[in-house]
Each structure stands twice: as C-alpha cells, then as structure tokens.
Amino acid sequence: MIFGVLNVTPDSFSDGGRYAALEPAVAHGLRLGAEGADVIDVGGESTRPGAARVDETEEARRVLPVVRELSAAGVSVSIDTSRAAVAAAAIEAGATIVNDVSGGLADPTMASVVASAGCPWVLMHWRGHPRDRARLAAYDDVVVEVRDELRRRVDAALRAGVADDQIIIDPGLGFAKTAEHNWRLSANLGELVSLGYPVLFGASRKSYLGALLAAETGTPRPVDQREPATVATTVLALVAGAWGVRVHDVRANADAIRVWLAMRAAR
Ligand code: PMM
C-alpha cells in the first residue's frame, strides 16, 4: 500500500511549500495517483521540528478544497491531521482514511469521529508536539516502549468504539526519536508487526537519512537527494512485514515494490 505525500503547506521540510496553492496541489495529487499511489495523504500542518502550529481554520482552509477535488476525481484520499474537526470535514469532503500523527492523543474527540465514520485510522506513535521533540526522545528501550505505547493507543481506540479492522499503526520515525531510535525501530519492525495490525512506515526523505548520507564535512545530504535511500527503506520495511509506506516520490518506490513483488511471486 503506497501513501503518496501531499503537503499543502508553505513550510514543509520535504517539499518546500511547492503545493501550497489549490491548483498545483491537485495536479500533484493526480500525478502521484497516476504513478501508483493507492492513497494521497493530504496534510495542512507541517510537523517538522520547530514548526509553528497553524490554527484549525487555516488548516481546514488549506486541505478541504484539495480533498474535495481529488476525491471528486476518483482518487482515494487520506487526511493527515490530529484535529477531529478537520478530520470530520475532510471525511465529509471525500477522505476515506484518517492519518493521525498523534495517535489520538492530540484531540480527545478524534476517536468518536473515526468510530462513527467507520474509516481506517492510522495511529502513529507520538509523545507530543514537534517543538518538544528533542526532550521527549528519551527511551530505555525504544522498540519495547514504542510497541507498548502504540498498544495503549490501540486499546484506547477500541474502548472508544473504533473497530479492530479500522486500525493501522505507525512507528512515527523522527517524532520524538533520534536517528538511532529510527534505526532501532526499523531493525525491529517485527515487534510492531506482532501487535497484529497493519504497519505503515514513513521514512521518506527524513533527516536521519540525510545524516546517514552526510558529506565528509558533516553537511547532511539535501532533502531532494535522499530518494535512493528512501527506496531502500521501503523495500526493507516491506520485507520486514510492513503493510504500507508513506512516500514523496511515488514512482521510484512503486517500481521498487514491483521488483520485490515479482521476486516474491517467483518463489
Ligand atoms: N511523517 C510526517 C507526516 N505525517 N504520518 C504518518 N502516518 N507517518 C509519518 O511518518 C509521518 C506522517 C512528516 O513527514 P513530511 O513532512 O514529509 O510529511
């Protein structure tokens, strides 16, 4: 399952605000769909470290027209939001998946919106807003703690009336996590898979890949030159049992997945 990223923000780290206006955003969403994305993940609030929060009205203003147009064009849309009101309005506009980077923690009414919509809900591992990220990235055992914290978010969702088959989990790479934490989670993805829910994996273009590929001077590899590394994470995550990936360059990742599927089919 491929989630194609469409950030309708002026300040995203990964695509630099290229799709802040309606027309280019819709065109890019359609292009990602044509390149093989199963779902277009539309977000209106940047989650990059240190990003200022946008208010709910502004977030809705950015995403709703894009959700409406892509859905009307027959594209499946997921809404990347932690706000229940934005999720509800996006569902009304045609979105069929809620991608909540806070795993239901940021807005206590999100669970009831998702329960009554009956749609899939991505519960990402999260410990607080991006500005607190560095302080929150403290673990004795990141794999065990992320697994147990996700289990608690799943239990809370089920208690709130969300059905088992609506739930998707996500390790939340880079969210309250250092590069080392991201690698530990990637290397032990089976621990999350063992919870029994589909696992979505979002490594695309993230800064730990930039750090891995840094020049000798220590300068991180620029965001637009992290694609081969992203593709490697995609294949390795799927081999480890992930259900889906959230990526910016859909074509490159879709091609790699086809290679993996062809090889698997020939076993
Ligand atoms: N990462 C970002 C935003 N939304 N949603 C999920 N489920 N998983 C992620 O890892 C995730 C996300 C931040 O990356 P971006 O700025 O490239 O969108």
Nearby residues of 244 by Cβ (< 8 Å), 6 or more positions away: 1, 2, 3, 38, 168, 198, 199, 200, 201
Give the separation between CA 214 and CA 208, rounded to whole angstroms.
Answer: 10
From the CA of 204, give the closest atom in ligand 1: 17
CA of 202 relative to ligand 1 center, distance in Å? 6
Q: Model-level pTM?
A: 0.96
Q: Which DSSP state fits 54? A: P
Task: Compute, in degrees rounded to 10, the torsion defined by CA atoms 170, 260, 207, 102.
Answer: -10
Side by side, which strands form the sheet with 200-201? 167-170, 121-124, 97-100, 77-80, 39-43, 2-7, 244-247, 200-201
Q: What is the pLDDT of residue 162?
A: 98
With a 6 Å cutoff on the Cβ, whether 47 touches ligand 1 is yes
Pocket probe for ligand 1: among 99, 105, 177, the residue whose CB has the most ligand atoms within 8 Å is 99
- Contact call for residues 230 and 203 (beta carbons, < 8 A): yes
CA of 115 relative to ligand 1 center, distance in Å? 23
Domain range annotation of the chain: 2-265
pLDDT of 210-264, one tens digit each?
999 999 999 999 999 999 999 999 999 999 999 999 999 999 999 999 999 999 9
With a 6 Å cutoff on the Cβ, whether 234 touches ligand 1 is no
The series of mean pLDDT values per 10 residues for the chain, 267 residues long, is 95 70 95 98 85 90 97 98 98 98 97 98 92 84 98 98 98 96 98 98 98 95 97 98 98 98 96
With a 6 Å cutoff on the Cβ, whether 78 touches ligand 1 is no
Give the separation between CA 74 and CA 33, rounded to whole angstroms.
Answer: 10
Task: Just give the CATH number of 2-265.
Answer: 3.20.20.20
- Residue 85, burial from CB neighbour count under 10 angstroms (0-12, 13-18, 19+): middle
Nearby residues of 161 by Cβ (< 8 Å), 6 or more positions away: 111, 112, 115
* Closest residue CA from atom 11 of ligand 1: 202
